[in-house]
Structure 1
Amino acid sequence: MFRKIVVGLDGSDSSENALRLACDLAQKYGSDMHLVHTPQPQSVAFALGAVAGYHAVTTMPSAAEVQEAGEKIISAGRAVAEELKQAIAETHINVGDPAENIVDCAKACGADLIVTGRRGLGSVGSLVQGSTTQRVNHLAECACLSVV
């Protein structure tokens, strides 16, 4: 049913839950899995010790720090997949808008399904669903699954 699955990761518990569910589906359907992460300087700054609402207190991370943080999130995703005995076909770390990068990856690889966490690390975009997930659902040309 699902030949290729794209999973959007941001390092949140919700995205890890999405990855775990995607691994389960991939095993059931023999799917190829692609992991996508778009490092966001604001999230990296928060992870490095900034406090929400006090952005003037910290400096934004360098491009190298953002890239390093992105690689750590992809590595953590690979580790979860390995733990669950699921191979990863490709990983993608891109700059820009996370939702657009996820959808672009899905289009490029011919994905049948995009799996994202319902709420991520981004700022509050909605009371029910994260703004990236909402945008993915709006832009995607394939099935989408948001995971709590």
Structure 2
Amino acid sequence: MKKLLIAYDGSDSAKAAFNLAIDLAEKYGAELHVLAVARPPEFGSEVETEAVIDNSRRHYTHLLQPLKSQIAGLTAHFEVMVGHPAESIVLYAEDHDIDHIVIGHRGHSLFERWLLGSVARQVIAYAPCSVTVVRG
């Protein structure tokens, strides 16, 4: 394992996944990639959409900042993308030759998972590498 991707959204399960990713990166000497994905608004004018995207980028950049102090001694890359979370995670993994993805699992109800699917499920289905899902 040379490159490890953690998908981070600030949830409890993402925090647990981040801790596991650090442990794995330390154990295997892997490069750590920390990715936050801001979902664009479904509708709105172009100006409104850009404002929401800019605000989301700032939010996730701020969210990732405290994590940097927790990974002393590791080679790490932090990135905020805008897009559908599962698609963005998979594309990032493909573009950066990621060997393993660690992702948190949100506690949706059975109906919500059936209706909407889950980011974790979609990442597992389409990822170019192995995926570990952490429940928080």
Determine if the TM-score, normalized by the shorter chain, exceeds 0.5.
yes
SS of equivalent residue, structure 2 residue 83: coil
Structure 2 unaligned blocks of 5 or more: 42-48
**Aligned equivalent of 1:33:** 32
TM-score, length-normalised on structure 1?
0.73
CA gap of 1:39–1:88, structure 2 versus 1, over 3 A, is: farther
CA gap of 1:108–1:12, structure 2 versus 1, over 3 A, is: same
**Aligned equivalent of 1:17:** 16
The structure that is strand-richer by fraction is: 2
- 1:108 aligned to which of 78, 87, 95: 95
1:47-126 residue pairs with structure 2 within 5 A? 62-79=52-69, 81-82=70-71, 85-119=72-106, 125-126=112-113
TM-score, length-normalised on structure 2?
0.79
Following TM superposition, by how much is the alpha carbon of 1:41 offset from its aligned partner in structure 2, in angstroms?
5.8
In structure 2, what is the Cα distance between the partners aligned to 1:100 and 1:120?
20
CA gap of 1:30–1:108, structure 2 versus 1, over 3 A, is: same
- 2:7–2:35: 8 Å Cα contact kept in structure 1? yes
| Number of aligned positions between the proteins | 124
Structure 1 unaligned blocks of 5 or more: 43-59
In structure 2, what is the Cα distance between the partners aligned to 1:118 and 1:23?
17
The structure that is helix-richer by fraction is: 2
Following TM superposition, by how much is the alpha carbon of 1:120 offset from its aligned partner in structure 2, in angstroms?
7.0
- 1:7–1:22: 8 Å Cα contact kept in structure 2? yes
CA gap of 1:88–1:11, structure 2 versus 1, over 3 A, is: farther
Instruction: Tell me whether 136-145 or 103-112 shows the greater mean CA deviation.
Output: 103-112
Q: Deviations over 1:36-76 (max 9, x none)?
A: 1112367xxxxxxxxxxxxxxxxx97333211111012213
- 1:12–1:120: 8 Å Cα contact kept in structure 2? no
Following TM superposition, by how much is the alpha carbon of 1:101 offset from its aligned partner in structure 2, in angstroms?
1.1
**Identity fraction in percent:** 31
SS of equivalent residue, structure 2 residue 35: strand
